[in-house]
Each structure stands twice: as structure tokens, then as C-alpha cells.
Amino acid sequence: MNLLLILAFLFQLNGWVETVSYDGNFKVKAPGEMTHKQISKNTPVGELTYHSMFYGAEDEDDNALYMVSWVDYPEGSLHSDSIELVRDFLDATVETAVLNVDGELMYQSDERIEGYPGRYWRIDYNKGTAVIKTKAFIAGRRFYSLQVASRHTRNINRAVDQFFDSFHLLSAPQN
């Protein structure tokens, strides 16, 4: 019986779909095909185009949403080599994420992602019934964010790590 469970688990993980984004300079695997959306916004540093690749899961799945987002900042405004700038940027990003979902920050930790400075954090939101786990990092002038949204009762599952671990840059970023 255990062998059948292991085989079913492996089949589920191996059935994931790889998405390659040449514009985003990455590849990632999700449980289904991802959709691309982009919006442009005027900001204090100029017009920025925010890109998202996402997969919305079925109701019965552990995780409701898998998403990779990225945005390129103008030259000189953000660079992964500036330790203090990266720290301040990630601090503000986490704070904004908590406010955007009216949630509570449960934990955060600095880590290197694909060799670049980044952060991992978890926010509980929707009155404690949902969780967003995020890994974010800066590679050159580009900010990346990987997110998985889950039901609180199902937020510890292998699929979150599978998604995060499947993300890889295609090449070194251009500065």
C-alpha cells in the first residue's frame, strides 16, 4: 500500500507543466499551464510594467494559486549588488504585502535565491483561513516574486516546495 501512495505522489509531482518565459528569463513548474498577465503603472521612478505568470488550482487542491511575478526597474534605481538598498526594498515589499491582504506576518528570513539576495516570508490572511508564502529576490535591476496561496489547514504540503524549487533563471540578468 505504501508503494502505491509513493507512486501516486510521484506521478502527481511528475505531471506538472514546465513554463519557460524568455521575457522573464526563467523556467518554473506548476500543476497546470500558467497564464501571463501584465499591467503598466506610473510610479515615482517612472512607468513600470509588472508581469505575472500564474496558475489557479481547483477548489479541492491544497494550494489555490501559484504565481511568478517580475518587474524591471530603471537603471540606477535598484541593483542586487547594493546590500542596504536590497534590504530596505525587501523590508518595504514585505510590509506592503502584509497591508495589501490585511494579514499578519508569521515569519520571514533572508536567503539567497538563484545566487541573489532575497527573502522568504509567510503571511496569514483572510481572518486566519488562508496563507501566502513568498520567495522574492533581486537579480540585477529585476525584482522577482514567487508566491503560493493556500488554505491555512493545508499550507504545509510538498507542492509549495516543488514550485519554489523548480524555479530557475535561464541566464544571468542584464544590468
Domains and their CATH numbers in the chain: 2-169 (3.40.1000.10)
Total residues found in the chain within this entry: 175
Question: What is the reported pTM?
Answer: 0.86
User: What is the pLDDT, as a whole number, of residue 107?
Assistant: 96
pLDDT band for position 8 (cuts 50, 70, 90): very low
Q: Which helix (H) or strand (E) holds 18?
A: strand 17-21
Give the whole-angstrom CA distance, residue 147 versus residue 65.
Answer: 8
Cell numbers found for residue 99: 497591508
pLDDT band for position 14 (cuts 50, 70, 90): low
Q: Is residue 111 pLDDT above 70, yes or no?
A: yes
Listed in sequence order, the residues at least 6 apart from 3 whose beta carbon sits closer than 8 Å to its beta carbon are none
- C-alpha distances in angstroms, 61 versus 125, 126, 153? 18, 18, 12
Using one digit for the tens of pLDDT, what is the confidence trace for 53-101? 999 987 767 888 999 999 999 988 876 777 888 899 999 999 999 999 9
User: What is the pLDDT, as a whole number, of residue 7?
Assistant: 37
Instruction: Tell me the pLDDT of the chain averaged across its residues.
Output: 88
